[in-house]
A and B are shown apart, each in its own frame.
Chain A
Amino acid sequence: MSSKSTSEKKRERLQDYCTLGCFLSLLAKYTPPVPRNIAIDTHINLCLYINIEAGMLKEAASFITYDLFKLGHGSRLADAVAFFIYDTAKIFLLLSVIIFVVSVIRSYFSPERTKKILSHKKEFIGNILAALLGIVTPFCSCSAVPLFIGFVEAGVPLGVTFSFLISSPMINEVAVVLLWGLFGWKIAAIYMGTGLLVAIFSGFMIGKLRLEKWVEDYVYQIKTGGGQEVFNRAFRERLQYARWNTADILKRVWLFVIIAIGIGGFIHGYVPQDFLTRYAGNGNPFAVPIAVAIGVPLYSNAAGVIPIVYALMEKGLSMGTVLAFMMAVTALSLPEMIILRKVLKPRMLGVFVGIMTATIIAVGYLFNAIL
């Protein structure tokens, strides 16, 4: 590294500043405005920068739309194209930055560490902690079984283990960023908040029911002695992992994201707002349970479900119904149940699915009522 020339170093530093600048501007753009009286110098500077940034993005979008593609101002096609280009740039910027930051944070939370934190925790507090740790602990869906056994063996209460297993696939950075970029930060926050509630409450209920006997017996017989300890990583290495991870996730989700934005752009430009509302959704009192019933057996990661969510929203389904559908798809799925069947007796699996479904439906109704 020392062989780098000063100009190269300078260029690198400049790049870093640019990345940081983009991040800050996006952050500030999507956070609620700071009250005027504490808007000190830095804030004003930031705002200026943001305006330039957002303006540039918008300008670029309209340049491509109106000048490059020669689409007439104000036409519906032009509106749709401009919306599409602007949103794509915005969301991919957001995605890259946030996945990178979350990846760095995640590198500090190994499942082993999470297990240690949660072992022998009291139930209610344990459920809350487990749901929160579920967001930041990285784990591959195929580790659900060893993870479950490891947790149970380490003395993590059953309900607490479930809180972890529920929140982990449901709340992740890709889902939150996409909701944020497409529907605004409020919806993203609501999704995260209720996701946590669902995970905490369902896990707590399962704990209260004392279902330990419905876990497959062999789970209790496995004695591993905790396995081997995992190694520390240097900070540089964490950054490398984070970059690799960001590229990996983007590679897997970019198509879904483009489809989602495409759906949004198309319907935004063409279909009048109230066209489908008249026929679908709101008036039907069973919209929520129907959406959840459809969502439960379906499987997709959060990125894959977003295009469908967007389409449903634009078609006039209410927010609560759509969020409930999204939760059902991400948190409950047939492949996951088949995996969990290895450690849970069928009755226990039934209880798990039942409690989750009921909680998600309740959340759907709640949001339909208050939003």
Chain B
Amino acid sequence: MEIKVLGPGCVNCNIMEQLAKTAVKELGIEAEIKKVSEIQEIMRYTMSTPGLVINGKLKHSGKPLPGLEKVKELIRAEV
């Protein structure tokens, strides 16, 4: 599984990355988490950061951030 966290690097984007990492660890899933901070690449998915892309599909964008349980749910749905 490939997970991308979209964000130029503000507090919320870092929180989103942490959420994704924790969720993957707690679910015990093999996944590669990539942080995407390049504008062109982010804009391919959304214009409101932070964004969460799982297997090429945009699953969350913007504020407010999803909770850990929600992130787990989104990841589980793509397994």
Contacts and interface: CB of A to CB of B under 8 A. Distances in A.
Interface residues of B, number: 24
Nearest to A146: B47
Given A112-B48, A140-B63, A145 B58 contact: no
Given A140-B10, A142-B12, A142-B49, A149 B44 contact: no
A40 interface: no
Contacts of B64: 103, 138, 241, 244-245, 248
A138 B12 CA distance: 13
Interface of B: 7-10, 12-13, 39-40, 42-50, 57-58, 61-64, 67
Contacts of B7: 142
B70 to A, nearest CB: 9
B43 A227 contact: yes
A147 interface: yes
A294 to B, nearest CB: 26
Q: Which of B42, B48, B49, B63 has the most CB of A within 10 A?
A: B48
A151 B47 CA distance: 9
B47 A147 contact: yes
Main secondary structure of the interface of A (DSSP, over half): helix
A115 interface: yes
A139 B44 contact: no
Interface string A192-228: 0000000000000000000000000000001011011
8 contacts: A110-B61, A115-B47, A142-B8, A142-B12, A149-B47, A151-B47, A227-B44, A227-B47
Given A140-B12, A142-B10, A146-B49, A230 B61 contact: yes
Nearest to A141: B10
Interface string A230-270: 10000000001100110010000000000000000000000
Most buried by A among B13, B47, B57, B67: B47
**B contact face: mostly helix, strand, loop, or mixed:** loop
Nearest to A229: B58
A299 to B, nearest CB: 14
B48 A146 contact: yes
Given A227-B45, A230-B58, A230-B61, A142 B13 contact: yes
Q: How large is the interface on A (under 10, 10 to 19, 20 to 34, 35 or more residues)?
A: 20 to 34
A111 interface: yes
Contacts of A139: 48, 62-63
A295 interface: no
A142 B13 CA distance: 9
A115 B63 CA distance: 16
A86 B37 CA distance: 46
Interface of A: 103, 110-112, 115, 138-143, 145-147, 149-151, 222, 224-225, 227-228, 230, 240-241, 244-245, 248, 342
Contacts of A245: 63-64
A112 B48 CA distance: 8
Contacts of B8: 142, 145-146
B48 A222 contact: no
Given A140-B12, A140-B50, A142-B7, A228 B63 contact: no
B51 to A, nearest CB: 9
